Amino acid sequence: MMNSRIEISNRATVLGVISLCVMVVFFETAQQYFYVKTYDLSAEATFLDLFITQSRKWFIWLLSLTLVYRYMSRLAGQETIRVKDVLRVFVMISGCLLLVLLVMSLVEVLLNADRFSAAVYGSYFRFYVFQKTPIYMLGYLILAVVFYLFQLNRLLAFQILEFNQLEAKDKASYYSEHNNQSVDQQVSVLKIKVGNSHKIININDIDWIEADDYCVNVHVRNNRFVYTMRTSLKALEQVLPGDFMRVHRSAIVNMNAVEEYTSGGSGSIKLTTGDEIVIAKSKLKLVNEYFSYSSNGMEH
């Protein structure tokens, strides 16, 4: 679950990609229709028929974008981009292009050819290599950059500070968002940079933090908001207060948000949100010790 700002960005990105594809399909159809009618290539071809054919080809290409998106998302999570990473992008895109051309040729042969043969399939494939490679490759490269920048924008910079260390404008923003309720000046807060502004989150409002490749997802206030940040659990573990415990290699939990836990067999923690998190065997002793000294009266 993401906050509304990120949800809108996701929706806008998807709609933007689809709108761009529709425009390109329409342009290619109009271009093909012009050639067909000008040079009398087919008396039976209609604009709608050509549009459906082009849409089918671009739909296959569109499906391959999920691979590009996932790869660029992982790349955005890295601290630095190396030359070999850029080369891998070109190799990945080339592989996607080859796969799309192979599938597209097969589909068109099955739909249009009288019979299937290696020669017929090869002629379709060669035709699409020359016709589609330039525009498909350009589309891949442009959208790879868009996906990378989009994911980079989701990876938010942050600081953990005491409330009294915040600037006056950040305090004013916090008070405004929380209906002017007072806050202990010594409480720890998470200061997240979102665009040109900052989001201030009380550390106590964080339920848990999960690892996600090169980033972490911070679940805040009963999962109403989830913030993706470019950092590691190890780095956060060193700066978070004592009530936050690394219970698994992929999870840090605010122990104040725990509703119950089990320590027998493969231990697990259940949060007030309903989320269940596995406790690593190496962390069971620490969890047991925490609740042994706590007065929260957890069930186990």
Lowest mean pLDDT segment, chosen from 6-15, 102-111, 251-260: 6-15
Helix/strand/coil for 232? coil
Q: Is residue 300 part of a domain?
A: no
For residue 8, what pLDDT is reported?
40
Together in a domain, 177 and 43: no
For residue 166, what pLDDT is reported?
75
Diameter of the chain by CA atoms? 87
User: At what angle are helices 47-76 and 83-112 packed, to 10 degrees?
Assistant: 150
Q: Is residue 147 part of a domain?
A: yes
Best mean pLDDT range from 12-16, 36-40, 102-106, 171-175: 102-106
Nearest Cα neighbor of 154 from 109, 240, 212 is: 212
Q: Is residue 73 part of a domain?
A: yes
Nearest Cα neighbor of 287 from 259, 263, 256 is: 263
Q: Is residue 169 part of a domain?
A: yes
Q: What is the CA radius of gyration of the chain?
A: 27
Lowest mean pLDDT segment, chosen from 154-158, 202-206, 256-260: 154-158
Which is it for strands 268-271 and 276-278: parallel, antiparallel or unpaired?
A: antiparallel
Q: Say how many CA atoms lie within 13 Å of 247 toward its Cβ.
A: 30
CATH number of the domain where residue 188 is located = 2.40.50.1020
Q: Is residue 187 part of a domain?
A: yes
Together in a domain, 103 and 173: no
pLDDT bucket at 3, cuts 50 / 70 / 90: very low
Residue 103 backbone phi and psi in degrees, to 5: -65, -45
pLDDT bucket at 119, cuts 50 / 70 / 90: very high
Together in a domain, 108 and 86: yes
Together in a domain, 257 and 280: yes
> 154, 186, 208: which is the final residue of a domain?
154
Q: Is residue 176's pLDDT more than 80?
A: no
For residue 10, what pLDDT is reported?
57
Q: Is residue 297 part of a domain?
A: no
- Per the listing, tokens 């955005």 go with 76
The residue segments making up the domain with residue 101 are 4-154
Q: Is residue 299 part of a domain?
A: no
Together in a domain, 139 and 177: no
Prediction pTM value: 0.61
For residue 2, what pLDDT is reported?
37
Name the more confident of 289 and 251. 251
Cα–Cα distance measured from residue 297 to residue 300, given in angstroms and rounded to the nearest whole number: 9
Q: Is residue 5's pLDDT more than 50?
A: no
For residue 1, what pLDDT is reported?
34
Together in a domain, 128 and 162: no
pLDDT tens per residue across span 41-82:
887 889 999 999 999 999 999 999 999 998 998 888 776 788
Together in a domain, 164 and 281: yes
pLDDT tens per residue across span 34-49:
988 888 888 788 999 9
Name the more confident of 218 and 266. 218
Q: Is residue 257 part of a domain?
A: yes
Together in a domain, 10 and 133: yes
- Contact between residue 175 and residue 181 where contact means Cβ atoms under 8 Å apart: yes
Number of domains in the chain: 2
For residue 180, what pLDDT is reported?
63
Together in a domain, 97 and 182: no
CA dihedral 164→167→168→169, nearest 10 degrees, is: -140
Residue 138, by phi and psi: left (phi above 0), alpha (psi -120 to 50) or beta? alpha
pLDDT bucket at 130, cuts 50 / 70 / 90: very high
Cα–Cα distance measured from residue 279 to residue 248, given in angstroms and rounded to the nearest whole number: 6
Lowest mean pLDDT segment, chosen from 69-83, 171-185, 245-259: 171-185
Together in a domain, 244 and 131: no
Q: To the nearest whole number, what is the mean pLDDT of the chain?
A: 83
Cα–Cα distance measured from residue 78 to residue 230, given in angstroms and rounded to the nearest whole number: 8
- Per the listing, tokens 């000046």 go with 185
